Amino acid sequence: MLLSAQEWGVVALSAKVSGVAILGVLPIAFALAWALARGRFRGRLVLDAVVHLPLVLPPVVIGWMLLVAFAPAGPVGGWLWRTLGVTLLFRWTGAALAAAIMALPLMVRAIRLSLEAVDPRLEQAARTLGAGPWATFRQVTLPLCAPGMLAGAVLGFARSLGEFGATITFVSNIPGETQTLPLAIYAALQVPGGEATVWRLAVVAVVLSLLALVGSEWLARRQGGVGLQGGGGAHVL
């Protein structure tokens, strides 16, 4: 299957946007999952609902909210512009932000599921062995959550690759800057007889996600199924 140079550019941009989005949002997703799984504060349910927002609302609405917030005159956009001289509007960074936000709920849920399965007795054991809360988190909790983080990252990456509505609404459809695969597919759909291009680009998207899947399986295997499987999530005996 041959792609034109311009199409390769689209693929590279998509991979960049999705990759940056997932890597950037992973720590945030983890922090949110942590708060939802372990926190016992008031407003937990509200936070949970907010995290789900990007799923519940049509992407176009999310894109529009981003546009309003990040416009030069908007609350966040204005601040970013004044303090850092940066704008996300019509930029690939904005596309990454949109992708990250759309992927966030999926990642939070997956990580939270793993986090809730971590046996607190193992964390206690780490504490008696001289590890403070932070070391316990890094050396016990985090690795035991690896399956959820990996699942979340794969899910989020796939979701980012397919993100369309929020992206086109927020950062428009600018070739070379914000035209990711779904936007290119949309463009092809607008042209009579564009179906062949649609198929070609769709296959590329699928191949990209397949690569991510293979990578994640490889990572999972390398960790030797830290998973809870076998290890029992707990302790031997």
Partner 1 sequence: AAQGLGKGPLVLAAASLQEAMNAAADRWSALGHARPVVSFAASSALARQIEAHAPADLFVSADEDWMDDVAHAGLLAPRTRARLVTNALVIVAPAGSALRLYPAPGFPLARALGGGKLAMGDPDAVPAGRYGKAALERLAVWSQVQGQVARAENVRAALALVAHGAAPLGIVYATDARAEPGVRVVGVFPAGSHAPITYPLARLASSTHPDAEGFRRFLLSGQGKAIFRRFGFVAH
Partner 2 sequence: MSFDIDIVLARGGREFAVRVAGGPGITALVGPSGQGKTSTLDAVAGLLRPRSGRIAVDGAVLFDAAGGIDLPPQVRAAGYVFQDLRLFPHLSVRDNLLFGWRHAPAERRTLTLEEVTGFLDITPLLGRRPHTLSGGEAQRVAIGRALLSAPRFLLMDEPLTALDPARREGVIALIARIRDAFALPVLLVSHQQQDVARLADAVVEI
Gap between the Cα atoms of 173 and 68, Å rounded = 17
Counting contacts by CB under 8 A, is residue 143 touching partner 2? yes
Q: Which residues bind a copy of itself (CB under 8 A)?
A: 45, 48-49, 52-61, 64, 105-106, 109-110, 112-114, 116-121, 147-148, 151, 154-155, 158-159, 161-162, 164-165, 182, 185-186, 189, 198, 202, 205-206, 208-210, 213-214, 217, 227-230, 232-235, 237
User: Which option in a copy of itself, partner 2, partner 1, none does residue 83 bind, with CB closer than 5 to 8 A by kind?
Assistant: none
Q: Pick the closer one to partner 1 by CB: 80 or 142.
A: 80
User: Whole-number minimum distance, CB 27 to a copy of itself, in Å?
Assistant: 20
Site string for partner 1, 49-88 (x = CB under 8 A): -----------x--xx--xx-xxxxx--------------
Gap between the Cα atoms of 95 and 129, Å rounded = 45
User: Whole-number minimum distance, CB 40 to partner 2, in Å?
Assistant: 17
Stretch that binds partner 2, among 91-99, 131-139, 177-185, 204-212 (CB under 8 A): 131-139
Stretch that binds partner 2, among 35-43, 71-79, 125-133, 196-204 (CB under 8 A): 125-133
**Residue 173 has which token pair?**
């459809």
Question: Residue type for 94, please?
Answer: G
User: Whole-number minimum distance, CB 86 to a copy of itself, in Å?
Assistant: 27
Candidates 79, 177, 156; CA nearest to 111 is 156
Give 212's contacts (C-beta < 8 A, 6+ positions apart).
Answer: 154, 157, 158
What residues make contact with partner 1 under the rule CB under 8 A?
Answer: 60, 63-64, 67-68, 70-74, 89-90, 165, 168-169, 172-179, 186-193
What residues make contact with partner 2 under the rule CB under 8 A?
Answer: 121-122, 124-132, 135, 139-140, 143-144, 146, 223-224, 226, 228, 230-237
